[in-house]
Amino acid sequence: MSLKNASILVIDDDIDVLTAVRLLLKPEVKEIVTEKNPENIRSILSKQEFDVILLDMNYNSSINTGNEGIFWLKKIREFRSTASVIMITAYGDIDLAIRSLKEGAFDFIVKPWHNEKLLSTIKEAVKRKDSKGTPGIQNNASIFESELLGDSEVMQEIFYKVQKIAPTDANILILGENGTGKELIAKAIHHFSYRSTKPFIKVDVGALTESLFESELFGHKKGAFTDAREDREGRFEAAHTGTLFLDEIGNIALHQQAKLLSVLQNRQVIRLGSNESKPVDIRLICATNCSITDLSNENRFRKDLIYRINTVEIVVPPLRKRGNDILLLAKHFGKIYSAKYFKPAVDFDKTAKEKLLGYTYPGNVRELQHAIERAVIMAEESTLTASDILFSPIETAPVETIADQSNLSAVEKNIILKVIEKNNGNISKAAKELGITRTALYRRLSKYDI
């Protein structure tokens, strides 16, 4: 569906906003309906279906929730509207707007907005609603609620970034320690992409032996080597039209990197033992527990390959830096394993919570999951105490000195200053180049007193 055929509903208690949007959209869309009172949403939706709803975040209403926009967003979903919802928000409410993405909003626009940005966002919303086989906005929240959990600021930024980059075909590099959930992030990107009904193929390239690397990735012809008893397609071909996830990309050798780069540049594979090239159409996501600094060492990793796989970068934080997300995840795993092992629903007393929050989690989410599973199995009572929570001795605690943290802060501050200077003080462009939201950049400016 084109924008010319779209029906738009705008709900805002500011008459000036309604007038401005009506004047902007009237020549661009089939129909525009404006409404000042959100109490009338149900009545309007009962009479007509819309393609896109622009919904303000705050109203002078009797609800007094402090986040009326999210309240009315939920109501729109209860009314079974299939419209893509775009939240209208002031700068100070961006955190709430990001929360609204978890509740099923398509996107948000900050006022005062640029008309071109508003029009492009509406076009994307119409395109998403009209796309067959693409996850509907109404179930956008599901993967975040069932697998990717986190209320912390850093995780909300990741969720926001996932929503923004998923509909594109940009190559993604996910960085983070082992056990932080990099594969879940990759699956979420695939889930929200236009390739979601196509294959998601994972390859742990760091675990492939020298002899298997080419055969596994690019396939082989019968007789290409001793054990090649039949033709076999590689993972690139298996992921055709879908998503290919290369895990532990930082562990492959330089000569393997050269072969991988060639395929990514040409978007063609040649099976071992064959001269015939086969075109491949994939969305590439890579992950590694190496830092970007380590990858930038040309003795270890080709820079031209880094640029090829790293259109957008996502850094997944270690669990020890996610605050109360630890308790959120502990309760989630407690619910899962109570059901799995036919145990009563578990709770955590004060001592258990203190122990959970005070641990460093060298094994990250994976280690927490194991600890909660063991606690559920072994506990005598449904309320878990500190003595029920035991952590694995096989993990080695990370070494993080105050000096290390200070140095990291200095590096981050220096990078921010350089990027802002490079963009002549334009915060929006600087935030985009840094790969964070404008509000996240503003918080860092305040943090470093810039």
Q: Give per-residue pLDDT as tens, 141-154.
A: 455 555 678 889 89
User: What is the reported pLDDT for 333?
Assistant: 94
The gap from C-alpha 241 to its chain's centroid, in whole angstroms, comes to 21
* Across 19-34, average pLDDT: 92
Q: What is the pLDDT of residue 299?
A: 79
**Worst-scoring range by mean pLDDT, 147-151, 239-243, 248-252?**
147-151
Q: Which residues, 6+ apart, have CB-to-CB distance to 190 below 8 Å?
A: 166, 196, 200, 242, 243, 245, 283, 285
Q: Are 121 and 84 in contact (CB under 8 A)?
A: no
- Span 24-47, average pLDDT: 90
Q: Which of 249-263, 290-304, 428-442 has the lowest mean pLDDT?
A: 428-442
**pLDDT for residue 246 is more than 90:** yes
Task: Give the orientation angle of helix 115-130 with respect to helix 15-25, to 10 degrees.
Answer: 70
The answer to whether the 3-139 and 320-388 domains have the same CATH topology is no
> What's the average model confidence in pLDDT over 92-101?
68
Q: Is the pLDDT of residue 400 over 60?
A: no
- Are the C-beta atoms of 82 and 129 separated by less than 8 Å? yes
What's the pTM?
Answer: 0.59
State the fold for domain 320-388: Helicase, Ruva Protein; domain 3 (1.10.8)
pLDDT band at 441 (very low <50, low <70, confident <90, very high): confident
pLDDT higher than threshold 70 for residue 290: yes
* pLDDT at residue 395 in the model: 66
**What's the CATH architecture for 3-139?**
3-Layer(aba) Sandwich (3.40)
| Phi, psi torsion values for 90, nearest 5 degrees | -85, 160
pLDDT at 412: 74
What integer is the mean pLDDT of 252-280? 90
Rounded Cα–Cα distance for residues 154 and 53 (Å): 28
- Across the range 25-47, mean pLDDT stands at 90
The pLDDT assigned to 60 comes to 66
Please state the CATH superfamily assignment of the domain spanning residues 153-315 in this structure.
P-loop containing nucleotide triphosphate hydrolases (3.40.50.300)
Mean pLDDT of the chain: 84
Cα angle at 71 between 68 and 76, to 5 degrees? Answer: 125
Of all residues in the chain, the percent with pLDDT exceeding 70 is: 87
pLDDT at residue 192, rounded to an integer: 85
Indicate if the pLDDT at residue 173 is higher than 50.
yes
pLDDT tens column, 155-168: 988 988 898 898 88
Sequence ranges of the domains in the chain: 3-139, 153-315, 320-388, 402-447
- Whether the per-residue pLDDT at 414 is higher than 80: the answer is no
Q: Give the strand pairing for 277-279 and 268-270.
A: antiparallel
At 224 the pLDDT is 66
Rounded mean pLDDT, 64-84:
78
Greatest mean pLDDT range, 96-110, 297-311, 378-392? 378-392
Residue 135 has pLDDT above 50, yes or no: no
Greater model confidence, 402 or 172: 172
Summarize the confidence of residues 58-73 as an average pLDDT. Answer: 69
**Predicted local distance difference test score (pLDDT) of residue 401:** 40
pLDDT at position 403, please? 41
Q: Per-residue pLDDT for 218 more than 70?
A: yes
Asked if the model's pLDDT at residue 239 lies above 60, the reply is yes
Where is 283: in which H helix or E strand?
strand 283-288
* Top-ranked range on mean pLDDT: pick from 53-62, 106-115, 385-394, 401-410: 385-394
Say which range, 243-257, 314-328, 382-396, 421-435, has the weakest mean pLDDT: 421-435
Report which of residues 329 and 228 the model is more confident about.
329
- The per-residue pLDDT for 139 is 43
Q: Can you tell me the distance from the alpha carbon of 196 to that of 198, in angstroms, rounded to the nearest whole number? A: 5
Stretch (H or E) spanning 447: helix 438-447
Least confident piece of the model among 127-136, 207-216, 266-275: 127-136
Q: Evaluate if residue 396 carries a pLDDT over 80.
A: no
Distance CA 366, CA 389 (A): 14
| pLDDT > 70? residue 63 | no
Top-confidence residue, 94 or 345: 345
Element (H, E) at 273: none
CATH 1.10.10.60 fits 402-447, yes or no: yes
Write down the residue that tokens 């020549």 correspond to. 27
Q: What is the pLDDT of residue 71?
A: 86
Find the helix packing angle between 94-102 and 438-447, rounded to 10°: 130
What is residue 240's predicted lDDT score, i.e. its pLDDT? Answer: 92
Mean pLDDT of 310-339: 93
Q: What is the pLDDT of residue 91?
A: 59
Tokens of 216: 């596994």
DSSP string, 19-68: HHHHHHHTTTSSEEEEES-GGGHHHHHHH---SEEEEES--SSS---S-H
